[in-house]
Amino acid sequence: MSPAHLAGTTRPLRRRAAGEPADRLDLVRRHFDLIDAGDPEAMAELFESDAVYLRPGYEPFLGRAEILRFYREVRTIREGRHTLDTVIGADGQVAVRGSFTGRQNDGNPVDLRFSDFFDLGDTGRFHRRETFFAAPLI
């Protein structure tokens, strides 16, 4: 069964904790839209200049410039689409559960589930992002 099938929907569900501004949830959604559109420059502007991005298999990306470098030069994905099943937030933090379907730079298909956690700074931009991927255990 593919991750897209497990998601049960291609329409994102947005859930908001009491008092959580919708714009924080929308900012996270925009983040994924910009990645899918192939616009790393605009995506990187959503991060504070000293932001941290933690991603399995890599050393931490420290600062907006390093995050941009990852998306321009290091990322192994050529193209694809994120489907967000759940987006929830509280106290300046947003959590996402979803799936990604696309192609790697070598043309191989990618179909996986992921979770992402965002901390927003005082500027209203992302201060920290941490990504997790669902992978079969051996």
Stated pTM of the model: 0.82
Residues 95/89, Cβ–Cβ less than 8 Å: yes
pLDDT at 2: 41
Q: Which CATH number applies to 3-133?
A: 3.10.450.50
User: 41 and 34 in contact (C-beta within 8 Å)?
Assistant: no
What is the pLDDT, as a whole number, of residue 137? Answer: 65
Q: How far is CA 51 from CA 2, 7, 39, 40, 62, in A?
A: 33, 30, 18, 15, 6
Residue 1, pLDDT score: 39
Average pLDDT for runs of 10 along the chain of length 138: 39 44 85 97 97 97 98 96 96 96 96 97 95 82
Residue 135 has a pLDDT of: 78
Dmax (CA) for the chain in angstroms is 44
Q: Which residues lie across from 93 on neighbouring strands?
A: 90, 119
Residue 118 CA to residue 64 CA, distance in Å, equals 14
